[in-house]
Structure 1
């Protein structure tokens, strides 16, 4: 059974970004999270992370639709 709540480091690994990027996303309110315990540790509910990912897919699809790639444009190198 998967854990309901994830550490910020787990979220970072899932999204393949840095821990500090996830912390900023949480602190800015972009990614819903809760603060628990006496030391105020952040946790992200797995369902909220999945909702966030889906919203980013929709946001990206809208951006792509509104910004078509020109003939001479080349994709960025990875």
Structure 2
């Protein structure tokens, strides 16, 4: 993606490089998000190039904003000293 790239020009599906530029991270970081399942993507074509649907990326970004907002509220709350458990594991002492 370059400076003249517009969302309309990119179409429905983004490459890892396009996604990396939008998120301002490296393509390797995007690949890691895809491989972990955190950022849903599909493999297309015989060589299996990863593609990320634009609306999925937008949903991912919104979810990250919401996660950040909730973490901020948690850290500001009066109950911050409480231990947080997930699946029986302490994630926040």
> Which structure 1 segments of 5+ residues have no match?
69-78
What TM-score results when the alignment is normalised by the length of structure 2? 0.71
Query: Number of matched residues?
Result: 68
Q: Which one has a larger percent strand, Structure 1 or Structure 2?
A: 2
Higher relative contact order (CA 8 A, sep 6+): 1
Larger radius of gyration: 2
Give every structure 1 segment of 4 or more consecutive aligned residues whose post-TM-superposition deviation is greater than 2 Å. Answer: none
What TM-score results when the alignment is normalised by the length of structure 1? 0.84
The equivalent of 1:17 in structure 2 is 25
Root-mean-square deviation (CA, aligned residues, Å) is 0.8
CA distance in 2, matches of 1:34, 1:9: 15
Per-residue CA deviations over 1:47-70 (Å, capped at 9, x if unaligned) read 0000000000100000011113xx
